[in-house]
Structure 1
Amino acid sequence: MTSGALNPIVANPAITAAEAAQTKVNSCLEAGRSFRLEAGAGAGKTYSLVAALKRLIAEKGEALIRTGQKVACITYTEAGRDEIAQEIEDHPAILVETIHAFSWGLLRQFQKSLRDIVNMMEDRRQKIEAGGGVESKLVDYDLGFFGVDDKRITLDHDDIPLFMAKLLKNTKFQRLLTQQFPVIFIDEYQDTDRDFMQAITDNFLSTGDGPLIGLFGDHWQTIYRSEYELADYPVEEIAKGSNFRSVAAIVNMLNNLRPELSQVVSDSKAKGEARFFHVNGYECERTDEAQSKGDVSADLARTIRENLMVRLESEGWNLAKTKVLMLTHNSLAKDLGYPSIAEIFKGRTAWFAKKEDPTIEFLIETLEPMCDAYLHSRYGEMFRLFGGQPGIVCHNDKISWREDMDELLRLRNESTIGSVIDHLRKTHRPQVPSRIVRKEEELAALGDNPIPEENKSLNRHSALRAVDYLELIELRKFVEGETMLATQHSVKGAEFENVLVVLGGGWNHYNWPLLFELLETKKLNNKNTKGYYRARNLFYVSVSRPMVRLAVLATQLLSDTALAAVTRLFGPDHVEMLDPASFPTSQS
């Protein structure tokens, strides 16, 4: 190179891979072909979806608006909907909605068909007859639970995608859908309701009729449904082989785990690490339960974890930027301060972790933010959460508000969830939602009589009333991601600078030693296949969260075969058996 010559521009491998995938997406859009974009962890799936929407806006936006049509983008969560809508600036040619909102917008127009489906629901027959039958009543969806009264029928949250799947068999319904939405994108297709996706496959993808369907997601990140393998979608697959999240040390391990979707990084020289620790050297009593084979005790596991974190910090980890991922809520609820709530909803963790229980939802989303606003004198925000101006017309009104809020703060710190609800029902500051009031009225109607055992919902509500409110305050910190500890299921889609993944027992659906053995032997059969994919997917989601540093700690005994798989994934120099002498405990 002659003196003064410019240095050549070096292409960014991750960007090059992403652009190649986007070119294939664009080709499908131009040709009117449905497709599935398989974007592994950190690949930038949402970026690709938004880029495709922006291309459609630029090329067809005006025409869509002129003909009264839209591109539909169906999202898995409301947070996903908000993110995408913001990226496209709520363009009028695009409808971004959750599957429930999108589906109900169409279903509500087919009242007779909805009544026919309700009439065939034998599992709801008792409620239907108790409410006076179906007749010609309005079918509605607003409260999220099934009910029948003298004027209307309300649908359950889970009814919506099921009803949508049934209506998609109707030719008239198919025509209406296609006419209104010539293009439909489905975000996180792997987590979208299976009945809905099967109906899309049967009626559109397999026939080649209907809208252009674009599926965006990653079947290796299926962790919420009971089917963990890739469904048969007869469309073009587009693999996005980039990783914009993690350093090469982590991506290399991911590629060893998933060679069929090899990813490239932006900067191959960026420093980081991916390490695996196990405790085979600990000579101690091991568990022998169905949900926990060969594990150390819960107390010893906690001690090992805490000591490892001390060591990692001494080796350069910033624990303030570290997330520790555990398998179950039971393994962290005690540490985080909400053990009673976790026990009440045992087996139904989404009811409190995702705020699906109406009481948990109200307290975390409305009451706690109101209390925060009051504590920090942000009265405008407090009244916004309250639902509008409270009609303060004189000084005594202000005194009354202050007395009620001060008493509320005292009850939060000193009393139970039930005491707080009782206080709110007297003051109406804020108003207790009708779904909770109905539970309270059911309890009151029973008087001193016991709650029927079969009424599990009312039993849970009664138990929740007795819990110290401070547990709810701690639960909110977990739900909003403010704690170092988290469950492996709760961080899908998130990223952190450093991650420590703890693999132990506690849930019979996840057998980590067997997972590693099967990764090595590939000896899948009818008995172990489902468990293998379930554990593999959750492991993949967990180890793909960090940007810079990853450590995995296995507290169960690992066989030589399992360790061979671990060594292949992480490399021999990055697998270490912890020495009990370096981690002194009274139980070791």
Structure 2
Amino acid sequence: MTGQPSPAVVAAQQAQARLDECLGNSQNFRLEAGAGAGKTYSLVAALKKIIAESGPALIHAGQQVACITYTEVARQEIANEIEEHPAILVNTIHGFGWAFISRFQKTLRELVAAHEPYSEAIKAAGGIQDQQVDYNLGFFGIDEKRITLNHDDVPRFLAAMLANAKFKRILKSLYPVLFIDEYQDTDPLVMSALADHFFASGDGPITGLFGDHWQTIYRKDHALLDLPNVEGIDKGSNFRSVPVIVDVLNRLRPELVQEVNDVDGQGEARFFHTNLFAGARVDSRNGKQELPEDSHADSIERVRQTLQDEGWDFDPARTKILMLTHNAIAAERGYPNIARIFDRNEAFAKKEDAAIAFLADTVEPICAAYKAGNYGEMFRLMGGIPTIRKTADKAQWQADMDALIALRETGTIGELIDHLKGTRRPRLSDRVVHREDEIAKLGPEPTEDEPKSLKRYRELRNVPYRELIAVTDFINGFTPFATQHSVKGAEFENVLVILSGGWNHYNWPQFFELLTTGKITDKNTGGFHRCRNLFYVAVSRPKKRLAVLATQALSDAAMEAVTKLFGAQNVVDLPM
């Protein structure tokens, strides 16, 4: 009826009322919010309620609500929504953790000394005396005056301190309320410390967890964590997708049924398969019954052309093509050698490789800031403003950066890394330095028994740096293509999902079979949940139109699951 709130709004109001009740009763809670449910809206609404009711009292007492986010982008979004209110501290886990643990220098030195992987470096530096412990560059280092921490040290040492009664009291006195955004991706050491030392005893801050365990795609614990003294709240809303897409999500996840916002919204959700292909399929270690390479590319183009003829706009701003592996698009997007070197392993797309991560996350943003004349941001990314005493220092900085920019266009990855070894602008990450040291010890030519990862790194050094730029653009979403991993939290008008073989962590035919048979065992449970979560993340991105293409042969049991999810009328035999 006109004027009545939508089903999604009603469900959201019910969840928010339960959340407010938990806050009023000083009860820990977990808001489980599926894709499109408006998790951040609920979090911000709770913060605004606290500001309205307790903001002045918190400020007067010198206390804050701590809101820990997973990314800097999320931090900025939440901070803007609450207008940077002084009663709320919004920060990433690393920012929050360092702000807390940096107060306790003596304890930090003790924790560093007890961390076995640092023992050799500590010994070489003459031991730990009374050095200042800092964290601003993200790598471990030690000399007679200073100790710098690695990124992973911050959550590790924070978790260690939370086991200590003294630090528990201090944390609670400073932050009587603690919110954690994307709890399912929060460092497991920190989550375990909270569960063991705060939730179980009931004497920690009032803690609110916001997230969705079905959108865990990087960690191994896929089950809903059984946290003591934490009230579970399901938010059964979907403000993103039209009903036909939400229906697919609800069939996939009946334990968290979502209500739609626009009950009359029009759209589509279809599943294309290639079972009609009559030629010889390809079996490999990482994928069974896959289409040959030419047919694989042809199937994607056929689906894309069909959708385009029906009105899909494949402008990157409106449509994303989500792919599990990159070989089908690597040549088109300009990084065929990188895709070949990693042999269908997505370590480069997820930035698990040390060199890719350093170049994509450090070098490229620094170069972008330099080219834009944003020198403050450039120096921030490098770890701080350098000492420039004379004009010659400034000229050298400019010469080094100009040479770096030129190498991006004309040099290889190895040549650019060699340049950075000389200039240290920016300084190479510890992991890249370690790889370089390994190669220096073994010599310029690969040996028969050296690790595969090192052989891969040698090959990567010879790749034109332009391919790294293309990969970075791909990862950051500047093309119409993306991997399912890279779009968590994003939304698009239209989404085409490509399910293919090529990575042994994801077996799509088996996933659909298990949806039908339910025969999930200790052996296949990890693979099933990885597929389930990644599939859920992918198919929950679109607002209006969803299409899925499976390029591997699907059994009768797999097709039964597909038909149940999408409806028989929406399952399409792709002519091959």
Cα distance in 1 between the residues matched to 2:445 and 2:132: 33
> Quick check: 2:421–2:427 contact (8 Å CA) kept in 1?
no
Partner of 1:377: none
> In 1, distance between residues paired with 2:438 and 2:55?
56
**Structure 1's 280 and 477: CA in aligned 2 closer, same or farther, altered over 3 A?**
same
Higher alpha-carbon deviation: 286-295 or 138-147 = 138-147
Contact 1:355–1:361, Cα closer than 8 Å, also in 2: no
Could you say what secondary structure the match of 1:74 adopts?
strand
Mapping for residues 172-183 of structure 1, pairs under 5 Å: 172-183=166-177
1:81 corresponds, among 67, 75, 79, to 75
> Which stretch has the larger CA shift, 261-270 or 249-258?
261-270
**Structure 1 CA distance, aligned partners of 2:395 and 2:114?**
56
Change in 2 beyond 3 A, CA 1:65/1:355: farther
- Of 482, 487, 493, 1:491 maps to 487
For 1:137-286, list aligned pairs within 5 A: 137-234=131-228, 235-286=230-281
Q: Is the CA contact 2:215–2:533 (under 8 Å) kept in the aligned structure 1?
A: yes
Q: Structure 1 pair 382/71, CA: closer, same or farther in 2 (3 Å)?
A: closer
Equivalent pairs, count: 562
Return closer, same or farther for 1:451/1:59 CA change in 2, 3 Å cut-off: farther
What amino acid does structure 2 have at the position aligned with 1:348? A
Whether the 8 Å contact between 2:363 and 2:426 is mirrored in structure 1 is no
Once the two structures are superposed, what CA deviation does each residue of 1:137-189 show, in whole Å capped at 9, x if it has no partner?
43332222233333333322122222222211100010011000000000000
Indicate whether 1:339 and 2:330 are aligned: no
The equivalent residue for 1:22 is 16
Aligned AA for 1:435?
A: L
Deviation digits for residues 555-578 of structure 1 (CA, Å, limit 9, x no counterpart): 111111111111111111111221
Going from structure 1 to structure 2, the CA distance change for 1:456 and 1:332 (only over 3 Å counts) comes to same
Which amino acid in structure 1 is aligned with residue 366 of structure 2? Answer: T
2:360 equivalent in structure 1: 360
CA change 1:448–1:27 in 2 (3 A) is closer
Does the 8 Å contact 2:367/2:405 carry over to 1?
Answer: no
> What's the CA shift for 1:252?
0.5
- The equivalent of 1:528 in structure 2 is 524
Give the 3 Å change call, closer, same or farther, for CA 451–228 of structure 1 in structure 2: farther
| 3-state SS of 1:316 partner | coil
- Tell me which moved more, 16-25 or 458-467: 458-467
State the TM-score, normalizing by the size of structure 2: 0.88
Residue aligning to 1:326:
323
Q: Which residue of 1 aligns with 2:425?
A: 432
Distance 1:390 1:297, change over 3 A: farther
Counterpart amino acid of residue 351 in structure 2: W
| C-alpha distance in structure 1 between counterparts of 2:445 and 2:197, whole Å | 46
State whether residues 359 and 436 of structure 1, in contact with CA within 8 Å, keep that contact through their aligned partners in structure 2.
no
Distance 1:132 1:381 in 2: 40
Aligned position for 1:289 = 284
- Cross-structure match for 1:518: 514
2:68/2:96 contact within 8 Å kept: yes
| Change in CA separation of 1:463 and 1:276 when aligned onto 2, cut-off 3 Å | same
Q: 1:561 to 1:193 in 2, by over 3 A?
A: same
The equivalent residue for 1:583 is none
Whether the aligned pair in 1 keeps the contact of 2:494 and 2:546 (CA below 8 Å) is yes
Give 1:108 shift. 1.9
Equivalent-residue separation in structure 2 for 1:331 and 1:180 (angstroms)? 52
Which amino acid is the alignment partner of residue 286 of structure 1? R
Partner in structure 2 of residue 466 of structure 1? 462
Structure 2 equivalent of residue 508 of structure 1: 504
Checking the alignment, whether the CA contact within 8 Å between 1:25 and 1:238 is kept in structure 2 is yes
Residues 353 and 479, structure 1, Cα contact 8 Å, conserved in 2: no
Alignment RMSD = 3.4
**Preserved CA contact (<8 Å) 2:297 2:328:** no
Question: Residues 159 and 190 of structure 2 are in contact (CA less than 8 Å); yes or no, is this contact kept in structure 1?
Answer: yes
1:122 CA displacement: 3.0
Q: Matched residues in 2 for 1:523 and 1:356: separation?
A: 38
- 1:289: how far off? 2.2
Deviation at 1:35, TM superposition (A): 0.3
TM-score (normalised: structure 1): 0.86
**Matched residues in 2 for 1:566 and 1:455: separation?**
41
For 1:123 and 1:406, locate their aligned partners in 2 and report how far apart those are by CA, in whole Å: 37
Helix, strand or coil for the counterpart of 2:290? Answer: coil
341-350 vs 467-476, which deviates more? 341-350
Corresponding residue SS for 1:277:
strand
The corresponding residue for 1:584 is none
Gaps spanning 5+ residues in structure 2: where? none
C-alpha separation between the residues in 2 aligned to 1:43 and 1:355? 36
Equivalent pairs: percent with the same residue?
Answer: 52
User: 2:97–2:158: 8 Å Cα contact kept in structure 1?
Assistant: yes
CA distance in 1, matches of 2:394, 2:62: 51
Shift of 1:520: 1.4
**C-alpha distance in 1 between matches for 2:433 and 2:306:** 49
Residues 1:125 and 2:124 aligned together: no
Amino acid at match of 1:450: P
**Aligned letter for 1:367?**
C
How many Å separate the matches in 1 of 2:354 and 2:4? 44
In the TM superposition, residue 491 of structure 1 has moved relative to its aligned partner by 0.4
Per-residue CA deviation, residues 24-53 of structure 1 (Å, 9 max, x unaligned), is 111111111110001000000001001101
In 2: Cα distance, 1:499 partner to 1:307 partner = 15
Per the alignment, do residues 369 and 531 of structure 1 end up closer, same or farther by CA in structure 2, a change over 3 Å counting? same
For the Cα contact (< 8 Å) 2:420–2:428, is it kept in 1? no
The one-letter amino acid paired with 2:362 is F
For residue 348 of structure 1, what is the aligned residue in structure 2? 347
The corresponding residue for 1:62 is 56
Going from structure 1 to structure 2, the CA distance change for 1:199 and 1:332 (only over 3 Å counts) comes to farther
In 1, Cα distance between the equivalents of 2:379 and 2:127? 38
1:76-132 deviation line (CA, Å, top 9, x unaligned): 111111111111111111111111111121222233333333333334433332333
Q: Secondary structure at the match of 2:351?
A: helix
Hey, what's the Cα distance between the residues in 1 that align with 2:515 and 2:396? 65
Compute the displacement of 1:442 (Å).
6.3
The amino acid that maps onto 1:357 is A
Aligned equivalents of 2:107 and 2:375: distance in 1?
44
Q: How far 1:239 sits from its partner (Å)?
A: 0.8
Give the aligned residue type for 1:92: P
Report the Cα offset of residue 355 of structure 1. 8.9
The one-letter amino acid of 1:505's match is G
Tell me what 1:299 maps to. Answer: 294
* 1:551 aligned to which of 529, 547, 553: 547
Could you tell me how far apart the structure 1 residues matched to 2:143 and 2:551 are?
54
| In structure 2, distance between residues paired with 1:422 and 1:187 | 39
Mapped contact 1:370–1:386 kept (Cα < 8 A): no
State the SS of the aligned residue for 2:136: coil
Q: 2:65 aligns with which of 37, 52, 71?
A: 71
SS of residue in 2 equivalent to 1:185: strand
More displaced stretch, 442-451 vs 533-542 = 442-451
Residue of 295, 306, 310 corresponding to 1:311: 306
